Structure 1
């Protein structure tokens, strides 16, 4: 069974001399009062990647390591700041299927093979607090890297790692670093051993994706935004596969941002190339929708029942909700995993990679960003204005509910368009995005209520057929209807603040 841990560490260039007496100065850094020598470890790791190093370029490491206290297969996934997640499995001859699956969004199905072998002689010291508990670990490493891609190429260096113990305050790293810098020890230039090893033992890669784009142009801004989103999409894939909290929601939101960017900036990127990609992104978002929509409904209905006074909960309401959750949740989960396992998903990832490597630039891509990006936002805002004015003019009922939902989707597109433009347009784009977000959130909550009312009616019908009381379902339905009407009363005011795009 896989073990997952979070590591927080910093890597430093080796001390300039063999004298390590300065280590004693770490006593006094934060809670550290003394050091304990844990001796020397011999570590031997073979790193796996694709032929063109797709894992390493995305900040991911996959290794088979022997020696030390944690030998086995390790997959390291980047997190924020100095942290990363490490997924561990026991030693085996080949890459475990579970880890191979978690790398799929980066490898896109390309074969994994050994790319570099890294052997380290590590001298380890624990940093102990007043009670003798290890709060961090310092490892001094003498490293040799041998290429598995080019015979005979190797590199040697020394470095130092400082890793926090689980649950310790990240501020300790800053306190330790203050002591290290005082002694002339600076951060390492490479983010990881494998990155340095491959840089020093492997021929330089081809030009970076989008290298031909004119710096500072409209095309450069849009390309950079798409690149961030594509990286986010592939980075969320392992979390979705392992059913991590909010992962499906974040992945679906990233997909929508990508679709919106490709739609809004058709004057920058040729739609003949991007429209098919948008179609596939829509498919993927649709496959994830079942699981995300189920999450929203589950939380909404469970909260609604919990907030009711006990005397208003009649019949097996909780049991019926749990049965619905189990059946629909499992069905939605299977749909998500089937989509991520499909050839269609891998082809979509390949299409996104080609879009980055060879962006289909239109003539306006070389123009200055302010005018081009602002014009695209204003155009999207015009669509929003037409939809919102129509929705607000309709009488209450199903037609108005549907019109508000369509206006809400247009608001989302405006908001996503402002995100790509913020580096160029600054505060005006940020302000518009914030105001449109308020419109979107009101419309979104209203639509969630409409969907919830439909489910509540279905649950009431099923309860009635089973001879159960339907009173509670009716109460919840009425509360959702009242909440939806209240949200709609808030909409005109929010729209008034967002009606003028004002990007100057």
Structure 2
């Protein structure tokens, strides 16, 4: 069993001329009183792979004794000063639940003790005028002993400020001003573990040698790919735990990677990238089962809840719930099986290999505006062709399919524009925004088409069980009308996206 919380904190170190202990922070912003707690003796053993894969991806795993929260702590980066801490009860071995959450980082490599960090901690609680806890400030006397071959020992003093749950991040800035005045300056390491690695001679920093010159098309494409690969790895734990939007964001990241590799074939050799694209398509498809079911479930539930009571006949809510449970379980199984498969780990390794030895083509060193502008325009022209084909068809199933293909093409324009934005600036940003409007409209249209199919299935099942299918028919009619409304809006939205001025702004 695990539990998680978000922690927002900053670390500081007293300068050589700094104070001997913690300063009095009474009166700093809303701080009305300061009370002492502790001292505490904390003993943490950090685990990592032999080549420190966790440290390199800004994650830490420790087994800590002492203090009020003894146990296993997995810390995952979020944004800014905030991290997520996943906790598990104290045990001798790394809990399986935490080991699984680290799979995208470890790729199945074994975890072993690599560092022991002991701290003697003096704690101060900062409270407001009502006595509510605002933050905890601690002064740690730290001793770190490397458990790696040839590792050494290090000692230092450290101040840590951690906000209480629900307290805004602005308090950190207020407290920092007062700490600086007392000679306590921001630490240059994000965690005790990273500092211990550096000061004991086992630094985990890895600098990837750039294969392209700064400012070249290759450098922009590789920087985008690096960002998306890092996002894919970081989103893995959220997807495994079914956190809100975790699966969706991971799926979108797969699509961004696929689109980049497709759109910039003039920069990267497709003989190498096409197999990777195929595996990204597989992963996005597996994740899509759960995400598509989530979207459909929310749409049908909202539709049923929005009907007047006199239009809800029979056990409609109960039938929808049974349908949801059976479909949800199936979709979650797809996600779990995909993320625990060897195929998925091989894909992550292939992405790392692609970044480590990129298959660059001649245009990777060309003129960035020209190369990247052409790539975006190719995707834009494909979208225009898809739209022309779809709009020429009469309403019906064939047109629905064609509009769905146009939606996919609009996404590719958006993602190609994202890669090129550092080079092409406002013109490509405008184009991406217009393509997004087309994509969103067609997305709502596709959701309505899929919902009609699901509602027909529910109506058939209800009829077979001797129930009235009236309510499902009403909802089906609403979704059909919604799809028709989106089709009616499409010509004007497409006219804005196909403005010749947008295209001219990218021509070089």
Give your verdict on TM over 0.5. Answer: yes
1:362-395 deviation digits (Å, cap 9, x = unpaired): 1111223211111100011111111111111111
Question: Per-residue deviation at 1:82?
Answer: 0.7
Question: What TM-score does the superposition give when structure 1 sets the normalisation length?
Answer: 0.97
Distance, in Å, in 2 between the alignment partners of 1:386 and 1:224 is 30
Q: Does 1:255 align with 2:218?
A: no
Match of 1:304 in 2: 303
Question: Per-residue deviation at 1:203?
Answer: 4.5
1:225-253 deviation digits (Å, cap 9, x = unpaired): 11111111111111111111111111111
Question: Residues 219-234 of structure 1: matches in 2 within 5 Å?
Answer: 219-234=218-233
1:446-503 deviation digits (Å, cap 9, x = unpaired): 0111111111111111111111111111111111111101101111111111114343
Distance, in Å, in 2 between the alignment partners of 1:243 and 1:314 is 33
1:238-280 deviation digits (Å, cap 9, x = unpaired): 1111111111111111111111111111111111111111100
Contact 2:56 2:204 in 1 (8 A): no
Contact 1:446 1:488 in 2 (8 A): yes
Q: Does 1:60 align with 2:49?
A: no
1:403-439 deviation digits (Å, cap 9, x = unpaired): 1110110000000111111111111111111100000
Contact 1:456 1:473 in 2 (8 A): yes
Q: 1:368 to 1:156 in 2, by over 3 A?
A: farther
Contact 1:30 1:172 in 2 (8 A): yes
Match of 2:124 in 1: 125
1:147-171 deviation digits (Å, cap 9, x = unpaired): 1113351222211110001111221
Question: Residues 173-184 of structure 1: matches in 2 within 5 Å?
Answer: 173-184=172-183
Contact 2:151 2:202 in 1 (8 A): no
Contact 1:241 1:337 in 2 (8 A): yes
Question: Residues 317-396 of structure 1: matches in 2 within 5 Å?
Answer: 317-396=316-395
Contact 2:198 2:204 in 1 (8 A): no
The residue matched to 1:23 in structure 2 has which SS?
coil
Match of 2:279 in 1: 280
The residue matched to 1:186 in structure 2 has which SS?
strand
Distance, in Å, in 1 between the alignment partners of 2:151 and 2:284 is 47
Contact 2:18 2:183 in 1 (8 A): no
Distance, in Å, in 1 between the alignment partners of 2:266 and 2:8 is 43
Contact 1:115 1:149 in 2 (8 A): yes
> Mean alpha-carbon deviation: is it higher for 62-71 or for 493-502?
493-502
Q: How many pairs are equivalent?
A: 503
Contact 1:209 1:358 in 2 (8 A): no
RMSD: 1.5
Q: 1:203 to 1:162 in 2, by over 3 A?
A: closer
The residue matched to 1:40 in structure 2 has which SS?
strand
Distance, in Å, in 2 between the alignment partners of 1:207 and 1:131 is 48
Q: Does 1:214 align with 2:216?
A: no
Match of 1:10 in 2: 10
Q: Does 1:147 align with 2:149?
A: no
Contact 1:149 1:202 in 2 (8 A): no
Distance, in Å, in 1 between the alignment partners of 2:432 and 2:333 is 35
The residue matched to 2:184 in structure 1 has which SS?
coil
Contact 1:150 1:201 in 2 (8 A): no
Match of 2:447 in 1: 448
Match of 1:29 in 2: 28
1:287-337 deviation digits (Å, cap 9, x = unpaired): 111111110111101111111111011111111100000001001111110
Q: 1:214 to 1:328 in 2, by over 3 A?
A: same
Contact 1:210 1:358 in 2 (8 A): no
Q: 1:322 to 1:200 in 2, by over 3 A?
A: same
The residue matched to 1:441 in structure 2 has which SS?
helix
Question: Per-residue deviation at 1:128?
Answer: 1.7
Contact 1:150 1:202 in 2 (8 A): no
Match of 2:505 in 1: 503
Q: 1:279 to 1:355 in 2, by over 3 A?
A: same
Question: Per-residue deviation at 1:16?
Answer: 3.3
Contact 2:19 2:182 in 1 (8 A): no
Distance, in Å, in 1 between the alignment partners of 2:479 and 2:133 is 52
Match of 1:243 in 2: 242
1:6-30 deviation digits (Å, cap 9, x = unpaired): 1100111224346357712x11112
> Mean alpha-carbon deviation: is it higher for 133-142 or for 100-109?
133-142
Match of 1:39 in 2: 38
Contact 1:6 1:83 in 2 (8 A): yes
Distance, in Å, in 1 between the alignment partners of 2:209 and 2:438 is 35
Question: Residues 162-177 of structure 1: matches in 2 within 5 Å?
Answer: 162-177=161-176
Question: Residues 56-205 of structure 1: matches in 2 within 5 Å?
Answer: 56-203=55-202
| Large movers: runs of 4+ above 6 Å | none
1:64-101 deviation digits (Å, cap 9, x = unpaired): 11111111100001111111110111111111101000
Question: What TM-score does the superposition give when structure 2 sets the normalisation length?
Answer: 0.96
Distance, in Å, in 1 between the alignment partners of 2:195 and 2:151 is 17
Distance, in Å, in 2 between the alignment partners of 1:187 and 1:351 is 38
Question: Per-residue deviation at 1:359?
Answer: 1.4
- Structure 1: give runs of 5+ residues left out of the alignment: none
> Mean alpha-carbon deviation: is it higher for 434-443 or for 185-194?
185-194
Distance, in Å, in 2 between the alignment partners of 1:496 and 1:355 is 39
